[in-house]
Amino acid sequence: MTWENEIRPNDQAGPPPAGTSSSEGEVLVSLQTGERTGRALSSQVAETWSLVLTARDVPHRVQRCGWGREIFVAPTLRERARRELRLYEGENRNWPPTYSKTVLADNTLATLSALLLLGVFHNLTILQEPALGGAAIDWVRTGNADAGKILDGQWWRLVTALTLHADGRHLLGNLLIGGFFIVRLCREVGSGLGWSLLLLSGLLGNLINAHMQDLHHRSVGLSTAVFGAVGLLAALSVMRHRRSLRSRWPLPLAAAAALLGLLGTSGENTDLGAHLFGFVAGLGLGMTAGAWLKTRGLPSPFGNALLAVAALALTLGAWLAAFQNPG
């Protein structure tokens, strides 16, 4: 609502009390009507206008007027006062900002199906059946995130480690708790983009962890990518609501702390470094993706399909490289 629309013809108040004048004895007139008869403003609007006029050194007087307030100024200052209010309104036209509700994609079933495949794959890894008549496959040995071997050039371990789990409890924790964040991420940005960002955050988290840990450090699990999903969601939210950044920055830290409490902070299957660096990688990717999406928008269905195929191809390619370079 513009300041001129605050005039309410049906709420005309009576003339101001006798003696409404400046300290020099000049008779004051209504800011809106230009006469001694004022029309009521809401108290909030009158207070805001008064603050603007005070800041711009425009002498004025606020008086109770019927149901609200009215502002009176000297006739010679009326046009200047109105001009200052117009400038104020122009500078603050879109403040406070309004945020559109995030439209969520209907892809929950597809995301849950992908998570289910991860569970099926885990069952395959614990069977250790011979491959094509050869020796039994030690999946964990072949695909874990071995820091020394990663730094020695075995890049595929950055990806394959995300698909492996130490045991059923390890898998179940990641699927049940992490599944919530993964489903939300895919619904916000689409399945293809969601899984691509998730894979990249896990990959980068494992890479940073390999550089920070001892060369003999090994880890497996989707939790690096799960913490990446938390960072991604937090960063995307911040990018959408940058004007309220001051009140939102604690949210990602609180979410990460809560997730850490759910997944545990100790035990042989817990890698705090991978969790932390996955979260940091997710934040960085989320900021980048958020800036891109703001200018380009969400991918088309075809674009999302290509991204999904690319994520799957990277995962399969990583395992193919692992089999071709065992040990």
For 245-262, the DSSP string reads HHHHTHHHHHHHHHHHHH
Span(s) in the chain for CATH 1.20.1540.10: 108-324
pLDDT by residue, tens only, the chain of 327 residues: 444 444 333 333 344 444 455 544 456 667 766 666 556 778 888 888 889 899 888 898 888 876 778 888 888 888 898 898 888 888 777 655 544 556 788 899 999 999 999 999 988 888 766 554 556 788 999 999 999 999 999 999 999 999 999 888 888 888 988 898 999 999 999 999 999 999 999 999 999 999 999 999 999 999 899 999 989 998 888 887 665 555 555 665 666 666 666 655 545 556 788 888 999 999 999 999 998 988 888 899 999 999 999 999 999 999 999 999 876
pLDDT for residue 74: 87
Note the residue count of the chain. Answer: 327
Q: Within 13 Å of residue 285, how many CA atoms lie on the same side as its CB? A: 29
Place of tokens 């709420």: 11
How far apart are the C-alpha atoms of 286 and 204, rounded to whole Å? 13
| Helix or strand holding residue 126 (H, E) | helix 108-127
pLDDT for residue 251: 61
Q: Is 8 helix (H, G, I), strand (E, B) or coil?
A: coil
- On whether the CB atoms of residues 252 and 235 are closer than 8 A, the answer is yes
- On whether the CB atoms of residues 228 and 235 are closer than 8 A, the answer is no
Amino acid at 274: A
Exposure b/e, 41-59, CB count within 10 A at least 16 = b: beeebbebbbebbeeeebb
Query: Domain 108-324 falls in which CATH fold?
Result: Rhomboid-like fold (1.20.1540)
- How far from the centroid of its chain's Cα atoms is residue 228's Cα? 13
The model's pTM = 0.66
- On whether the CB atoms of residues 201 and 232 are closer than 8 A, the answer is yes
pLDDT for residue 73: 87
Write the secondary structure of 205-235 as one string of H (helix), E (strand) and C (coil): HHHHHHHHCCCCCCCCCCHHHHHHHHHHHHH
